[in-house]
Structure formats: C-alpha cells, structure tokens
A = this chain, B = another copy of it.
Amino acid sequence: MASPIHQRLREDVLAGVFAPDEPLTEAKLTERYGTSRTPVREALQRLEQDGLVERRGKAVVVRTHSAEEIIDIYESRIVLEQAAAAKAAVKATALDHQLLRALLLQMRQLDAGDGRVLAETNRAFHAQLWHATHSPSLIGLLERLDQQVRRYTLTTLTYPGRWPVVLADYAELLAAVEARDPQRAGEIAARHMSDALGIRLKMYAEDPRTL
C-alpha cells in the first residue's frame, strides 16, 4: 500500500544519504525521484510520523537522536521484546518454530565480519519472533521503535565477541519458546536487549561518534 517513493525515501534516509542538517526540500526530492511534490509531501509526512525526520522551523531534516533518546528507546524496547518473547512462547505455532530455527541456522553460517548482513539477518530473526506472537499491536509497536534506531544498530553486532553471544542467546531463547516457557523466554530476551544496550553505552563511552 505504501507508495513507492515513500519506501525509497525511507531507504535513503536509513542509508544515510542525507546529511543530518541538510534540509530535505520538496524541490530536491521531486527532482531526485522524478515525481511531483504531492507524493513527496506525502512521503515526508509519513516519515515524520515514523520519527525518521522532523520539522525544524520550516525545513524537514533527518532526525538525529541524542544519547539519552537512544537509551530511552532501548529501555522501552527491552520491555516490549520481553513481552513479545513471552507471548511468542505461548502463541507461536509449529510453523513459527520452524521459521525461527531456519533463520538461526542461516545466521550461524554467516561471516561475522560483514556488519550489514549481520544486522539484516538479525533484524529478520527479531521480526520473525515478533510475528510469532500473533499480536498486531506488539508487532506494530516494535516495528515503530526499531525503525527509529535502525540507523544505529549496525555497529552493535560487530563489537568484538558479540556475535557468538547473540547466537547463543537466540538458541536459548528459541528453546524457551519451543518449550512454551514464557517466563524464561521473556527473561532471556530482556537480558539480551539489556546487554545490547550495555554494549552500546560502552561503545559510546569509547567513541561518542558511534552514535
């Protein structure tokens, strides 16, 4: 349903095509995507709703997040991921289990060096877990939060020694889900996300630019 230029613009924003303070004038985007202002305006509004861009005075610029804001989003996400894992443990079907297992196997065979692929597959695993809850509201909320920080998540997985731990966490989480143990699944997910936040904070302390 979402118009094609909405998707293209979102991809470009997430890919960092535009500088943080560069005004996204409608004329520029009109030329870039070869359409008129109307679809461009629509796309900008949706991206603003999604929290990916913001209006600064009259201009629209890609939204940047302070360290505090990122921590805040992470903390909310910890809560939601815990809830999602717990609910997935109750609601997941055999097919959901199968899809999660397949994704985990796929992740094990990846080269731990390519952050891009890691981030993408990691996201797919999370998304699959969300869908295993069969809860539209949880899925929507988590997708919303994820989009806002997706630009920053690339780095977390490439932190030295992190990837094997992630794989182990997911294996444990999947086991809890398949055992239909919501308590344990939630705990593992919460711990996993807390660890991710801890690493992010550590990286930030080492080099504030990594935000």
A135 at interface by CB-CB < 8 Å: yes
Closest B residue by C-beta to A80: B79
A201 to B123, CA, bound (A): 35
Cβ contact of A72, chosen from B45, B51, B137, cutoff 8 A: B137
Binds B, one of A9-17, A28-36, A97-105, A138-146: A138-146
- Residues in B whose Cβ lies below 8 Å from that of A49: 46, 49
Least CB distance from A188 to B in Å reads: 17
A145 to B42, CA, bound (A): 23
Interface residue SS majority, chain A: helix
A1 to B60, CA, bound (A): 13
A:120-166 near B, CB below 8 Å: 135-138, 140-141, 144-145, 148
The number of chain A residues with a CB under 8 A from chain B is: 27
- Residues in B whose Cβ lies below 8 Å from that of A118: none
- Residues in B whose Cβ lies below 8 Å from that of A137: 69, 72-73, 75-76, 145, 148
A8 at interface by CB-CB < 8 Å: no
Is B76 a contact of A79 with CB atoms below 8 Å? no
Interchain Cβ contacts under 8 Å between A and B, 16 examples: A41-B42, A42-B42, A42-B45, A45-B46, A72-B135, A72-B138, A75-B87, A75-B135, A75-B137, A76-B135, A76-B138, A76-B141, A79-B79, A80-B80, A141-B141, A141-B145
A76 to B140, CA, bound (A): 11
For the A-B complex with A75-B137, A76-B83, A79-B80 known, give 12 more contacts whose Cβ atoms are closer than 8 Å: A42-B42, A46-B49, A49-B49, A72-B135, A72-B136, A73-B137, A75-B135, A76-B137, A79-B79, A80-B141, A141-B141, A141-B144
A55 at interface by CB-CB < 8 Å: yes
A42 to B45, CA, bound (A): 8
